Amino acid sequence: MRNLLVYLKDYKKETVLAPLFKMLEASFELLVPLVMAWMIDQGISGKDRGIIFQVGLILISLGVIGLVCSITAQFFAAKAAVGFAAKLKHALFAHIQSLSFSEMDTIGTSTLITRMTSDVNQVQSGVNLVLRLFLRSPFIVFGAMIMAFTIDGKAAMIFVVTIPLLCLVVFGIMLISMPLYKKVQAGLDRILGITRENLTGARVVRAFNKEETEILRFKEGNEALTGMQMFVGKISALMNPVTYIIINGAVIALIWTGAVRVENGYITQGEVVALVNYMSQILVELIKLANLIITVTKAFACANRIEGVFQTRPGLVSLAEPGEPFHEGEKGEEAVSFQHVCLTYKNAGAESLTDIHFTVKKGQTIGIIGGTGSGKSSIVNLIPRFYDATKGSVKVNGIDVKEYPLEELRSKIGMVMQKAVLFKGTVRENLLWGKEDATEEEMWRALEISQAKEFVEGKKDGLETLVAQGGKNLSGGQKQRLTIARALIRKPEILILDDSASALDFATDARLRKAIREMEEGLTVFIVSQRASSIQYADSIIVMDDGEIAGIGTHEELLETCGVYREIYDSQFKKEGRVS
């Protein structure tokens, strides 16, 4: 938590003024019982309406001043807490963006979303309450006891006994319930996970007719959470009755002692009323303090989880000096080369890639084919350095990718992932992700090459056509073509199509490959596919099998020499009676 407080440094004034105004409010609140005692003893007992009226105006003035102080304190506390949360979210989001795919895979998407939302909100609430109540509640408790001693020392001894008893009950219940509240929070996280899975996978759930199963799973989790909440709620519910018993017992003792002291002439009736009011103030503030500590405990737990994300350091560190201009030097014919590369994913038991070795010249088209889980995507993910090779080296233009600044490296590469991801906005806005200053002419050219021009032109709004979140208002093929256009618009040196034409029909897929091949820029293209037809005309084909290269060559060469490739080809062509 301490490390996160750095985001409060721009709100030093607010963090001082908020508790200061709360202390002022508390000071005026402590004066109210004494003013009431004055009204009772001087005005009501003496039947002096003038004093009653004057004291009434003083009470109203104290109330108004206290209200102004309270609102001012709330304003400064809210400003500091909201500003702190905003800066924390910005810093957390920026840090998450700096993490590599490996760290993202380890932490998990749902965990990061929880840290960014509910955990930050919980810390914000904790900061807000601390600024408002952390000093006010103890000040009222001890201030009321001191004020009681100024009225009558003997009667005030009841406060000396009552306050420790109240503290024992309040903080004892709190210490028992706090670990249980942490379990409740963990149970809530599980329920949120189930809810998120069902909302994002609603179509899959319905497609497999699993609604009843998922409802039952949610019900079981929810009932477990409810049971835990009811248990901790019962323990917490003891606080009010037990504290009220103690307070009422103390009030009875006060009235009894006060009556004796009044009869003997040591104190007045108004002072007895003031003592009872101070006892009530102590009760309210101790309960507030207990709730504050519970909230702060939750905030600390959430802050530690957020801090855990910050402590996850980016695994991809560039060897280039930060801030210094990067010079590639003279470019050769070599576009990409893998030098005996091995890759082991974090926490994986075995290598995903083993001894991958090949060289690609500029302008070549390379096909990568293999069975599911053979390592096709792992190879292309090493080129833009989404992951780092655990052995060997990957070079772009003859330079190790680790020596490039990440921004410089990725500006050379157009990457189209397996899953077509589009963002909420317009077609134009999605294309501008590829190149921020792209002209309309460049956009239409990219759409034409990606075979998306026809369907975009067919939309009434053209480039201004709205795209729903995740492209849900588009077909799978339309989404894939737009993501390809987004990669092409930046005119990259290397284009990677990671099984990104799987939703296209054979004719559209062929036209797309032909259009890319005829581009003036002469791109180096990597086509990852499970279709032999998509890569058979590539300059060279890499056949993957269980993380290793089973063969490299042209289509004709591999049919003769590589059993894995021949098996894939035969399963897709000869069984359908098709001829190459």
Query: pLDDT band at residue 334, thresholds of 50, 70 and 90?
Result: confident
User: 391-396 and 548-553 as β-strands: parallel, antiparallel, unpaired?
Assistant: unpaired
CA distance 419 to 447: 19
Mean pLDDT of 212-239: 86
CA distances from 452 to 458, 466, 478, 515 (A): 10, 15, 7, 12
Q: pTM score, two decimals?
A: 0.71
pLDDT at 327: 64
pLDDT tens, residue by residue, 370-402:
888 888 989 999 999 888 899 999 999 888 888
pLDDT at 284: 82
Closest listed residue to residue 161, CA positions, set 238, 247, 280: 247
Q: What is the 3-state secondary structure (H, E, C) of 487-511?
A: HHCCCCCEEEEECCCCCCCHHHHHH
- Which range (13-27, 107-121, 351-365, 458-472) has the least confidence? 107-121
pLDDT at 134: 82
Q: What is the largest CA-CA distance in the chain?
A: 118
Query: pLDDT band at residue 580, thresholds of 50, 70 and 90?
Result: very low
pLDDT at 577: 45
Contact 132, 77 (CB under 8 A): yes
Q: What are phi and psi of 255, to 5 degrees?
A: -65, -40
pLDDT at 137: 84
The pair of three-digit structure tokens given for residue 43, joined into one six-digit string: 């005005």
pLDDT at 322: 57
For domain 334-576, give its CATH number from 3.30.110.30, 3.40.50.300, 3.30.1490.100, 3.40.50.720: 3.40.50.300
Q: Is the pLDDT of residue 136 over 60?
A: yes
Query: pLDDT band at residue 578, thresholds of 50, 70 and 90?
Result: very low
CA distance 445 to 206: 40
pLDDT at 133: 84
Count, in order, helices (H) and strands (E) of the chain.
21, 12
pLDDT tens, residue by residue, 336-366:
999 999 999 887 778 899 999 999 999 899 9
Average pLDDT, the chain: 86
**Chain center to CA of 185:** 16
Mean pLDDT of 520-536: 87
Position 568: which residue type?
I
Contact 348, 319 (CB under 8 A): no
Which helix (H) or strand (E) covers residue 72, if one does?
helix 49-98
pLDDT at 525: 92
Sequence ranges of the domains in the chain: 2-310, 334-576
pLDDT at 318: 63
User: 353-361 and 334-343 as β-strands: parallel, antiparallel, unpaired?
Assistant: antiparallel
More confident residue, 45 or 473: 473
CA distances from 363 to 71, 514, 575 (A): 68, 14, 34
Beta strands (DSSP E) in 427-558 are 466-467, 494-498, 524-528, 540-545, 548-553
Mean pLDDT of 248-274: 86
Q: Write the class of the CATH domain 2-310.
A: mainly alpha
Q: Is the pLDDT of residue 323 over 80?
A: no
